[in-house]
Structure 1
Amino acid sequence: MSTPTAKVISVGIVDDSARDRERIVELLEHYQTQHLVHLHIRQFEDGAALLENYRPDYDVLFLDIQMGGIDGMKTAAAIRRVDSSVIVIFVTKTAQYATSGYAVDAQGYLLKPVSSFAFDAELTRSLRHLNRMKRDSILVGSSVAPRKVDVADILYIESRKHKLTVHTIDEHISFNGTLKDFETLLAPHNFYRSNSGYLVSLRHVEAIDREDCIMSNGDALKVSRARKKGLLEALTDYIGGKVV
């Protein structure tokens, strides 16, 4: 059976046991031979080593839970603050931590010693999930500290005095940039420029009230007169209706 994706997959292995890391490497190398994928693999001896200069460019992370220093759960929690999309698979000696993984949106668990069958099944499932969601995440923030966010979580992007603020469901991320760059990037994802200062996600527009665009979080964003008709047309097209 072939894998559902053919791109280069960036994989991180975090475990304070060199032998356990090598076991995962062995399984990954076997997987890429059998499934004809290209895996870029990096190893880390503990959570601190991964978190130092972490950039959100990993696709899959295998995290040992019980490690000295920063354990797997704390490592995953720190990663989730800057990377909402990376697939986290915990590798552990006991299943007692399974329910704790919901807090950090873990994709799955592998019990040590890791069997080839369980590993292949988990990685195949994860790559299918990755293939479905990969198009729906973007990097935002400064070039030295980029953040990966899900497009579906972005309510709108605001531009003020050459500074952008990405308003998501959970947070606000500010950095220097131009709205035009994101307007092009997000055009296929149902975003619309409501005026010179706002790029709004149509999925999060609750209503158009006179000159305001009401977002799902209650924010009222001014709509320019010149763009109001276009916004209404884009919104009704998005929801499958028509302008009357």
Structure 2
Amino acid sequence: MILVAVVEDEVQEQQKLRSFLADYAAQTGEKFTVSLFSRGADFLDCPESFDLALVDIMLGQENINGIEVAHQWRAKNPDALLIFVTNMLQYALQSYAVDALNYIVKPVEYSLFAQKLGRAVELLHLRRKKKICFTTQSGMECLDGEEIYYIETFGRGLKIHTVNRSIYCTETLKTMEELLQQECFFRCHKAILVNLLHVSSIHKASVTIGGEEVPVSRHRKKEFMDALVNCFGGSVS
């Protein structure tokens, strides 16, 4: 899941970029959650941590300039990716002062947008390829998050169910939840953390993952369903 912010004061341009993101998701299978902002100040006040921001440089007389928005956002999010969208090429050169990945000149064409978005997506995936490492009784173990089906509390530690085997570790469920917070994982039960990408069927009080039935707490069912929709990109439709 990639969290994207679109900072654009023109509604038509907002919807165009949102539509392009949805088209890219449909063509590639990539998953986005998209948030739209008409004012730079609203974007800066948002507590969400975005992976990528598409920022219009000229935000209108009632808004702070997109370059200034980027400066302030970059100070709090040094590792996030930034792409400027502008109809004034001379301003685009300022993008490098805030370590922007790229810029797109209006009117935005889908082919060029997809090319530059693809570069951003590639970089984000390369960053996320790092292993999830945790402590076991025999030492350290490292896995890719996508290998994990679900994690459950077991005795004084955890039992990690993976595609090929089960691993016992001495971490807490809270620690694993924090390690996997950028992935499609959800705590569906006080004692269980599931990988939403491996959910194959949903029942009244449980789900099936990797051929096993895993319980879902009644009071977490709605949040679980919302998280599942978001994980599979429903928010860009």
Answer yes or no: is 1:126 the counterpart of 2:139.
no
Aligned residue number for residue 34 of structure 1: 27
Task: For residue 70 of structure 1, report the CA deviation from its aligned partner.
Answer: 1.2
TM-score (normalised: structure 2): 0.52
Task: For residue 22 of structure 1, report the CA deviation from its aligned partner.
Answer: 0.5
AA partner of residue 51 (structure 2): D
- Counterpart mapping for 1:40-59 below 5 A: 40-55=33-48, 57-59=49-51
- Output the CA distance in 2 between the equivalents of 1:41 and 1:53: 13
Identity of aligned residues (%): 31
Q: 2:59 aligns with which of 53, 57, 67?
A: 67
Deviation string 1:40-89 (CA, Å, 9 cap, x unpaired) is 0110001011011334x211110000013211100000011110111100
TM-score (normalised: structure 1): 0.51
Question: Structure 2: 5+ residue runs without aligned partners?
Answer: 131-174, 180-237
Does 90-99 or 16-25 show the bigger shift? 90-99
AA partner of residue 114 (structure 2): D
AA partner of residue 63 (structure 1): V
AA partner of residue 89 (structure 1): I
How many positions carry a matched residue from both structures? Answer: 131
- Output the CA distance in 2 between the equivalents of 1:25 and 1:105: 23
Contact 2:86 2:92 in 1 (8 A): no
Task: For residue 98 of structure 1, report the CA deviation from its aligned partner.
Answer: 2.4
Question: Structure 1: 5+ residue runs without aligned partners?
Answer: 1-7, 137-180, 186-244
- Counterpart mapping for 1:31-180 below 5 A: 31-55=24-48, 57-68=49-60, 69-134=63-128
AA partner of residue 29 (structure 1): A
After TM superposition, which residue ranges in structure 1, 4 or more long, deviate above 3 angstroms?
none
Summarize the Cα distance change of 1:31–1:76 in structure 2 as closer, same or farther, 3 Å threshold.
same
- Output the CA distance in 1 between the equivalents of 2:122 and 2:129: 13
Deviation string 1:7-37 (CA, Å, 9 cap, x unpaired) is x111110001000000001101100000001
Aligned residue number for residue 10 of structure 2: 17
RMSD: 1.9
Task: For residue 135 of structure 1, report the CA deviation from its aligned partner.
Answer: 5.9
Q: Secondary structure in 1 aligned to 2:84? A: strand
